[in-house]
Amino acid sequence: MGECIFRATFHVEPVAKGRHRGQLLVDRSKLIAAPMVVTEAFIRKVCRIGMYTPAGTRKFEASIKRQAIIDIGCRKARKTERPVIIAMTASLPIPDSWPDWKKRAARDGTILPSSKPDFDNYEKAAVDALNGVVYLDDAQIVESHTRLVYSDTPSLSITVWESDAIQAGVANRAEFYRLLGLQIEMPAA
């Protein structure tokens, strides 16, 4: 494992990545000349499907991204081009409806959040929020460790390490040497 390039605790309630939703959008200006019988060709001409991320997911990701930008700006850090390793702990709120014995068990880790939504949906929302801030794209993540726990104070803790390895998409030998930090004289082509 390489150098730790980002570590932060976000004092927000973790939100799982919501499924993309679809919406049928109709071009009303083309409806004026609507035929008596609506055909598939007419529907294709007049309608299109718009995809969107649910508002709760968008707000959560924007909040995490905003805080990460502030944190990185304060440290004058840069986003990495290398593969990264990420560790995340999502501390979820203990349900108010639970009896005291169950709340105590949740606090001490005897009961863990093993119900829906799945841990990978929390992970996806967090790593998407850090796209373009800590790393160029979440495709750079080569290893991850995610943990869900209950807590009285919901939060999301994320640590990102830069891998010592080089990404597979290296274009040529000169770029390969540059990423290794080597000064190699390349013969003229």
CB 17 within 8 A of CB 88: no
* Mean of pLDDT values over 130-154: 94
Between 71-80, 95-104, 141-150, 155-164, the lowest mean confidence (pLDDT) is in: 71-80
Confidence of residue 98 (pLDDT cuts 50, 70, 90): very high
Residue 186 lies in a domain: no
Per-residue pLDDT, 32 = 60
The number of residues making up the chain comes to 189
Same domain, 44 and 137: no
| Number of domain units in the chain | 2
What residue type is 33 in one-letter code?
Answer: A
Q: What average pLDDT does this structure show over 71-94?
A: 87
41 inside domain:
yes
Q: Are residues 130 and 41 in the same domain?
A: no
Q: What is the pLDDT of residue 10?
A: 95
Report the side by side order of strands in the sheet with 155-162: 4-10, 155-162, 84-93, 141-151
Placement of tokens 């905003």 in the chain: 66
User: CA-CA distance, 61 to 121, in Å (whole number)?
Assistant: 12
Residues 13 and 61 in one domain: yes
Domain extent for 175: 4-18+54-180
Q: How many Å apart are CA 70 and CA 52, to the nearest integer? A: 27
The reply to whether 126 and 33 lie within a common domain is: no
Confidence of residue 115 (pLDDT cuts 50, 70, 90): confident
Report, as an integer, the average pLDDT of 105-133. Answer: 92
Which one is predicted more confidently, 99 or 45?
Answer: 99
- Name the residue among 100, 101, 108, 99 with its Cα closest to residue 151: 108
- pLDDT > 90 fraction of the chain, expressed in percent and rounded: 48
pLDDT tens digits, 167-187:
777 778 888 887 777 777 766
* pLDDT single digits (tens) 21-77: 777 677 766 666 555 666 777 777 777 777 777 788 889 899 999 999 988 877 766
pTM (2 d.p.): 0.75
pLDDT at 9: 95
What is the average pLDDT value for the chain, to the nearest integer? 85
CATH (domain of 97): 3.30.1330.70
For residue 173 the two structure tokens come to: 């030998």
Q: Same structural domain for residues 37 and 110? A: no
Average the pLDDT over 161-171 and give the result.
81
Burial pattern 21-32, b for ≥16 Cβ within 10 A else e, equals eeeeeeeeeeee
**Cβ-contact 153, 14 below 8 angstroms:** no
Query: pLDDT value at position 81?
Result: 84
What mean pLDDT is predicted for residues 11-15? 92
Contacting residues for 15 by C-beta, under 8 A, at least 6 apart: 56, 57, 59, 60, 122, 125
Residue 185: inside a domain, yes or no?
no
User: Is residue 109 domain-shared with residue 173, that is, in the same domain?
Assistant: yes
Rounded distance between C-alpha atoms, residue 113 and residue 125, angstroms: 17
Q: Which SS3 state, helix, strand or coil, does residue 142 take?
A: strand
